[in-house]
Structure 1
Amino acid sequence: MYQVFCGKQRETPVIEAACMEDIYDALAERLVPTAAAASTSNYKHIVGLAGPPGAGKTTLASEVARRINALWPQKCISFDSQVDPSEAAIVLPMDGFHLYQHQLDAMEDPEKAHARRGAPWTFDPALLLRCLETMRDQGSVYAPSFDHGVGDPVEDDIFVDVRHKVVIVEGNYLLLEESVWKDISTIFDEKWFVDVDMEIAMERVLQRHISTGKPPHVAKWRIDYNDRPNAELIMKSKNNADLIVKSVDLSR
């Protein structure tokens, strides 16, 4: 169904399969026993899931969380009867930690700031770090989501509470080694990276831009000016992962 192996040039395990469904199943099966073995009620197994735009991080995180919630009552009845099976796992996207548009407006070059939105410096990693530290230390936290229609974060929109035993934090820059990002990566019990062919990822992002109403030439410009440079930076952080997840492209 799937393979986990170590390449000759590296020790990081790589998981790959004929389809993403098998990978989702394998990752959920991997996490449930670890989370179930926790001895304290506040404990959470926190996964940092990184990868470039178009890698499929959001889908992977939600599918793995859904499978964990389905597996929990089968695997963990004797562990914690207080945990609602639908609440065992939750996804915490990094998108909610975008800077607000008014913060971009206040920058030295607002036009560039808006055009490069999505680059590391257009996020608030210090806020993300505080959120993760609170969640780890206290067992619960309110976190922001992101409203794509409005184009700004929504404060306190996601509640991670003590019932959640697995938290999958997903975002582009979670494994960077610079400034506050490096501190963020120390929070994670596991660090995953979704590895994808760059051209496949950029084609997915291009289609995403077009589907939101951008003309093709504008979408291509945004890829070249913002998305590809961001993706190239993100790919460099792959070596900081504990597990490489190979993205499967079924269209080829």
Structure 2
Amino acid sequence: MEKGNRQVVVSALQFACTDDVPTNLATAESCSLETLSTLKFAQRAKFIKNNAVVNEDASGDVAMRLQIQQLKISSISTTTLHYFCPSTESLLFKRVKLPSWDQHLVSISLNSRTEQRLLARPCSLAHKGNSVKVKCSQKREIPVLEASSMDEVFDILAERILPTSSVASNPNTKHIVGLAGPPGSGKSTLASEVTQRINKFWFQRACTSDPQVVPPDVAIVVPMDGFHLYRSQLDAMENPEEIHARRGAPWTFDPVLLLNCLKSLRKQGSVYAPSFAHGIGDPIEDDIFVSLQHKVVIVEGNYLLSDEGVWKEVSSIFDEKWFIDVDLETAMQRVLKRHISTGKPPDVAQWRVSEIDYNDRPNAEFIMKSKKNADLVIKSIDFFQR
């Protein structure tokens, strides 16, 4: 077609989608922005579009937009892109078949083909209906997830790693997520909430065919707390009183045991992991069983993204690395509130303030350095005011 005195080339993908997403796909001029490689996406776009119409599924249009924008990312190096995607449960149940595990979910991480192209260019993800944002740093391309509430964050993350039916039926598949952050960042809460949502969504989807069948959970949490050194091991160290006072520091854990546990999980598909009994202050061996049915495993702990010593090898096991980013003072206040909520008297609580400054704060400062190793940074909102 002609526009003024210039000839404008309209790609097959744009032609297929122009009625639905005119604002999300710019017209290609002089063939420089969209090439014949676009043609291979046209059939997929038409399928998603038609599927959405037949099933009256609005999320199909959104999925089509994501496909378009993924193409644009790989072909345009100068334009800032804005993504619009849903963060509701409706996205999980749309009848759109896409070729990989994550393509039908909220795609936050970037693939290797786009990584170098976008290294020096900021990008953002925003949801029109609420305040969900994903931003990319100009210095290093680490997406940052922000939302108006932690419940919204939980939903987005659950959608992100919810397995498909084909994945769940494959006994050799495991998606292991490493979740790190300083004390008081909300690691345990986030891991638990995301896992519960994954199992809930999976149950709802699986039960549509046979309500009499209760599917097994597909997601589970493995806390790093179970890999604390035993108190008896701390007693055997030099200056045990000081060692106990610093419990929670990197050297009061057994990263080799954690590494071997994760390697066994990768190799065998199932493993027994220790939990931690806060009442007695020691791990409980083989208390958590990760079975073949578990397809998503969230490992949460302070030092999982550290690149020092054995921790670096531990970090290499994970398929995804998440880091909860929180203001340090806010985190320390949360730690204090957590101890006060257990019923400790005021004088003990005041003593705990000194202990926080002596132990939790330096640990947190060390942990914050590992944020640079994350694939996704999650902005923490006050869990106590959700």
Q: TM-score range by the shorter chain?
A: over 0.9
Task: Check 1:175–1:91 CA distance in 2 against 1; reply closer, same or farther (3 A cut).
Answer: same
The answer on 1:228 being equivalent to 2:361 is yes
The answer on 1:193 being equivalent to 2:193 is no
* Inter-partner Cα distance in structure 2 for 1:140 and 1:84: 21
Greater fraction strand? 1
Higher RCO by CA contacts (8 Å cutoff, separation 6 or greater): 1
The AA in structure 2 aligned to 1:173 is Y
* Inter-partner Cα distance in structure 2 for 1:86 and 1:22: 25
The answer on 1:5 being equivalent to 2:135 is yes
* Inter-partner Cα distance in structure 2 for 1:150 and 1:70: 32
Match of 2:28 in 1: none
* Inter-partner Cα distance in structure 2 for 1:169 and 1:35: 23
Task: Check 1:34–1:202 CA distance in 2 against 1; reply closer, same or farther (3 A cut).
Answer: farther
* Inter-partner Cα distance in structure 1 for 2:203 and 2:220: 16
- Match runs of 1:148-167 below 5 Å: 148-167=278-297
Contact conserved, 2:207 with 2:215, CA < 8 A, in 1?
no
* Inter-partner Cα distance in structure 2 for 1:84 and 1:117: 42
Match of 1:18 in 2: 148
The AA in structure 2 aligned to 1:229 is P
- Match runs of 1:9-158 below 5 Å: 9-33=139-163, 37=167, 40-75=170-205, 85-158=215-288
Task: Check 1:107–1:36 CA distance in 2 against 1; reply closer, same or farther (3 A cut).
Answer: farther
Deviation at 1:10, TM superposition (A): 2.6
Deviation at 1:70, TM superposition (A): 1.1
The answer on 1:245 being equivalent to 2:378 is yes
Task: Check 1:85–1:14 CA distance in 2 against 1; reply closer, same or farther (3 A cut).
Answer: farther
Partner SS, residue 90 of structure 1: strand
**Cα deviations by residue, 1:176-223 (Å, 9 ceiling, x for unpaired):** 001110000011000000000111100000112233326122111111
* Inter-partner Cα distance in structure 2 for 1:129 and 1:183: 7
Q: CA RMSD for the aligned pairs?
A: 2.1
1:208 to 329, 333, 338: 338
* Inter-partner Cα distance in structure 2 for 1:41 and 1:57: 28
Contact conserved, 1:35 with 1:166, CA < 8 A, in 2?
no
Instruction: Judge which range, 84-93 or 96-105, deviates more.
Output: 84-93
Structure 2 residues not aligned, in runs of 5+: 1-129
Aligned residues: 248
Structure 1 residues not aligned, in runs of 5+: none
Q: TM-score, normalised by structure 2?
A: 0.61
Contact conserved, 2:187 with 2:300, CA < 8 A, in 1?
yes
Partner SS, residue 87 of structure 1: coil
The AA in structure 1 aligned to 2:272 is Y
Deviation at 1:87, TM superposition (A): 1.4
Contact conserved, 2:142 with 2:375, CA < 8 A, in 1?
yes
Deviation at 1:158, TM superposition (A): 0.3
Task: Check 1:27–1:199 CA distance in 2 against 1; reply closer, same or farther (3 A cut).
Answer: same
Contact conserved, 1:92 with 1:170, CA < 8 A, in 2?
yes
* Inter-partner Cα distance in structure 1 for 2:330 and 2:375: 23
**Cα deviations by residue, 1:22-63 (Å, 9 ceiling, x for unpaired):** 000000000014795477313110000000000000000000
Task: Check 1:36–1:169 CA distance in 2 against 1; reply closer, same or farther (3 A cut).
Answer: farther
**Cα deviations by residue, 1:134-183 (Å, 9 ceiling, x for unpaired):** 01110110110000000100000000010000000000000000111000
The AA in structure 2 aligned to 1:195 is D
Task: Check 1:61–1:85 CA distance in 2 against 1; reply closer, same or farther (3 A cut).
Answer: farther
Percent identical: 66
Partner SS, residue 194 of structure 1: strand
- Match runs of 1:168-187 below 5 Å: 168-187=298-317
* Inter-partner Cα distance in structure 2 for 1:184 and 1:148: 24
Contact conserved, 1:194 with 1:247, CA < 8 A, in 2?
yes
Deviation at 1:5, TM superposition (A): 2.0
The AA in structure 1 aligned to 2:333 is E
The AA in structure 2 aligned to 1:176 is S
Instruction: Judge which range, 39-48 or 16-25, deviates more.
Output: 39-48
- Structure number with larger C-alpha Rg: 2
The AA in structure 1 aligned to 2:359 is N
